[in-house]
Structure 1
Amino acid sequence: MTLARRASAEFTGTALLVAAVVGSGIAATRLSPHQVGLQLLENAVATALALTALILTFGPVSGAHFNPVVSAVDWWLGRPARTGLTGRDLLAYTLAQTAGAVGGAILANLMFGLPAISVATTARSSSNLWLAETVATGGLVLLIVALARSGRAVTAPAAVGAYIGAAYWWTSSTSFANPAVTIGRMFSDTFAGIAPASTPAFLAAQLAGGLLAGAAIAWWYPGTAPTAADVVVPHAEQEAAPR
């Protein structure tokens, strides 16, 4: 499976994920005006189900990371045993995921008759939200890699979807947990949007969560297993390339 093919799967999968997040947020506000709790429930359920389906769809091609932190941790933890992504893969995946996220927000805007790009104005800037993003991202990465290293990556689609759906509710930030998705959500001034001024702190918190998860994985799941490269799910062999 060539890198171009895998990167295109990451682009498309991330785009559809953001389209699901933003689109379901728009639909929720229209279907349930003035009922914020119900809007969040509708948004969470749609996102969790869409994420599960997208992992099942694109996982066999690229692993279905859809998240630069997941890709970065896969690259870092895989270096000693030469499993996981190469440095070139990581760059390609990150660019594809970020571009896909922006494209997904634009797609959602257009599907609901809104301007293609509307810069979000929803401020999400407080220390409790940054803490929530650190915890949400760390928990997500820990879940994914723990499943891979224990030979249970086949359960990842359901497990990851369930985690994100639940984290909408048990984190104060509603669990963005993904730098690419965070960037994409800047381009839609809707229920799921985040103001550009709030984004850098969210990105920093997500990276911190990834680092903490990497340390936890090294402690709780040392070494690698034959299936350790199956992040998020078992997928095609990668091209041989220098790291």
Structure 2
Amino acid sequence: MSAPVSARVDTPESAVVDAAVSAAVTVAVTWPAALWRRALGELLGTGLLVAVVVGSGIAAANLSPDDVGLQLLENSIATALGLAVLIAVLGPLSGAHFNPVVTLVDWALGRRDPAGPRLGDVAAYLAAQLTGGIGGAVLANAMFAEPTAIATTDRVSGATFLAEVVATAGLVLVIFGLLRAGRDTLIAPAVGAYIGAAYWFTSSTSFANPAVTVGRVLSDSFAGIAPGSVLPFVLAQLVGGAVGLGLVAVLYPARLGTTGGDVARPGTPAH
């Protein structure tokens, strides 16, 4: 039986292994640094996220045409699982924001950190996310041979405005709360689980993401949103982001093991 890890005596072989592991961890954390590669990861991730949302919405409507509740269940399960996978895969590359609100909160929390995100990073991320959101909707329509058309589903009301504020604030708290608590490895499953749940406990079905909201305009399907509902939804998401930022600042004033400030960069996973 081998000795407990705490009682291990370093040998040349174990030292080599430890050095290799340390080097691998360093590479995983710092590679790649190029902004264009990170922005491409954001474009791809946001596009695939919207493709999952819109595509599963179209499939749900085709498979369960007479049961809206079942459609929502199918759509929410696909979105929750797809989002968790995308964060896990692209998180080491770009941080898997996939969401302008998350990028803006990340910048606000790290703006005093010399190594924090710069406005150029933020601009590149926002452009990539919005472009990806539009492209993802077009891709989903094409996969189901559906026309790319402007959505006609009006979703705006006082209740859905409040729901988007709550959904987005909760999302920001989940992401940055876990990050500042040093539980980064839980972000992918936790965000997927939160969004899957928020589909059901919010009247808006938890868009919580301006890029996803804009993309869903281009699908006149179960997942679509009419252009007239976009601005109120985006405003609610920005308000929710500000509320979430305030909650994070109060509840988690610094990342575990630091004396102040966040270490989040573009960055940090999200819906």
- For 1:192 and 1:219, how far apart are their aligned partners in 2? 35
Residue 249 of structure 2, aligned match among 218, 223, 230: 218
Structure 1 gaps of 5+ residues are: 234-243
Structure 2 gaps of 5+ residues are: 1-32
- For 1:48-127, list aligned pairs within 5 A: 48-115=80-147, 117-127=148-158
- For 1:98 and 1:73, how far apart are their aligned partners in 2? 17
Residues 165, 59 of structure 1: CA spacing in aligned structure 2 closer, same or farther, 3 A cutoff? same
Residue 46 of structure 1, aligned match among 57, 63, 78: 78
Q: Aligned pair count?
A: 232
With normalisation by structure 1, the TM-score equals: 0.93
- For 1:192 and 1:35, how far apart are their aligned partners in 2? 15
State the partner residue of 2:10: none
When the two chains are superposed, the root-mean-square deviation of aligned CA atoms in Å is: 1.2
State the partner residue of 1:240: none
* Contact 2:198/2:205 (<8 A) preserved: yes
State the partner residue of 2:203: 172
- Secondary structure of the 1:110 match is helix
* Contact 2:106/2:268 (<8 A) preserved: no
- For 1:62 and 1:82, how far apart are their aligned partners in 2? 19
Residues 69, 55 of structure 1: CA spacing in aligned structure 2 closer, same or farther, 3 A cutoff? same
- For 1:29 and 1:85, how far apart are their aligned partners in 2? 41
- For 2:191 and 2:118, how far apart are their aligned partners in 1? 24
2:103 is matched by which residue type in structure 1?
A: S
The structure with higher relative contact order (CA 8 Å, sep 6+) is 1
- For 2:156 and 2:150, how far apart are their aligned partners in 1? 16
1:113 is matched by which residue type in structure 2?
A: A
- Secondary structure of the 1:187 match is coil
1:154 is displaced (CA, Å) by 1.1
Over residues 102-128 of structure 1, what are the superposed CA-to-partner deviations in whole Å (9 max), with x where a residue is unaligned?
A: 00000000000012x200000011000
- For 1:220 and 1:23, how far apart are their aligned partners in 2? 37
* Contact 1:7/1:62 (<8 A) preserved: yes
State the partner residue of 1:194: 225
State the partner residue of 1:232: 268
- For 1:85 and 1:25, how far apart are their aligned partners in 2? 35
- For 2:208 and 2:229, how far apart are their aligned partners in 1? 14
